[in-house]
Structure 1
Amino acid sequence: MRQAFLLFSHQLTKSQQDELENKFKVDKIIYLPSDLQSIWSNVPPELPSIKDYLEEIFCWLKEHSKPNDIVLVQGEFGAVFLTANFCIKEGLVPIYSTTRRDVAETILDDETIQTKRNFIHVRFREFEKWD
């Protein structure tokens, strides 16, 4: 059984779930527990290093995952970098979502510009290790 662990701040779309199940052969999708989700979604910008801050998440992943499980990693840039590296070291497969962005701008009567952005999931992509 292959699992997918979700380290991001959204709910999966139907197309994302289908891709995890069909392309990546995932049988079980696991969201972070609420206490760890709070850690992931609120990385303090004041900290000079966040390695210790993320330690509970790394411990949880070690405890619940097995080699070749998928980890969807999206969020604060430094946390993503550390987590993707951690996953590769642990034999997990870190991935991220690629999107197409459709943007529409409207000039309002008061001459301000209103922007609407739609993000459309295209595919998941594996983080790659630079050799």
Structure 2
Amino acid sequence: MKKLLLFFSHKLIPEQIKAAKEMGIEEFVYLPPDLQTLFSNVPPDLESLRNYAKPLVDFLQENTKKGDFALIQGDFGLCCILVNEAKKLGVVPVYATTKRIVKERNIDDKVAKYSEFQFVRFRRYE
């Protein structure tokens, strides 16, 4: 049974769950609240994220086996650490791709833009 660890700041939408199941994933593992807070609030003033990332790396190591997947999408530096660790473990790191749909509306004498992001697929980090 393959699982998908979610290093991600949102809940999966039905289209993402369907796409993951089509990849053979049967279990979805969200981060516990303390790690979710850590993942979603990376301090911008840290010079290195190596120590900061340790609890997340530990969670990845303790909750996956070779052939599992990890959805990794967030702070670029933290993602880089997690993607590299996933690859070392034989875990497949992926990210969600989206299509941006921009709509404009005239409101009185102003133009407002609205962006909608539509999930397309999961893509493997290479």
* TM-score interval for Structure 1 and Structure 2 normalised by the shorter chain: over 0.9
Q: Map 1:25-64; keep pairs closer than 5 Å.
A: 25-64=24-63
SS in 2 for 1:52: helix
SS at match of 2:51: coil
**Matched residue of 2:25: which SS?**
coil
Matched, 1:94 2:93: yes
When the two structures are superposed, what TM-score results if normalisation uses the length of structure 2?
Answer: 0.95
| CA–CA separation in structure 1 for the residues paired with 2:75 and 2:106 | 32
Amino acid at match of 2:9: S
Instruction: Report the equivalent of 2:112.
Output: 114
State the partner residue of 1:8.
Answer: 8
Q: What is the CA-CA distance between 1:110 and the residue it aligns to?
A: 4.5
Structure 2, unmatched stretches of 5+, are: none
Which is strand-richer, 1 or 2?
A: 2
Alpha-carbon distance in structure 1 between the residues aligned to 2:113 and 2:51: 38
CA drift of 1:27 comes to 1.2
- Matched position secondary structure for 2:47: coil
Q: Name the SS for the 2:84 alignment partner.
A: helix
State the shift of 1:19 in Å: 0.9
2:112 is aligned with 1:125: no
The aligned length equals: 126
Give the percent of matched residue pairs that are identical in Structure 1 and Structure 2: 39
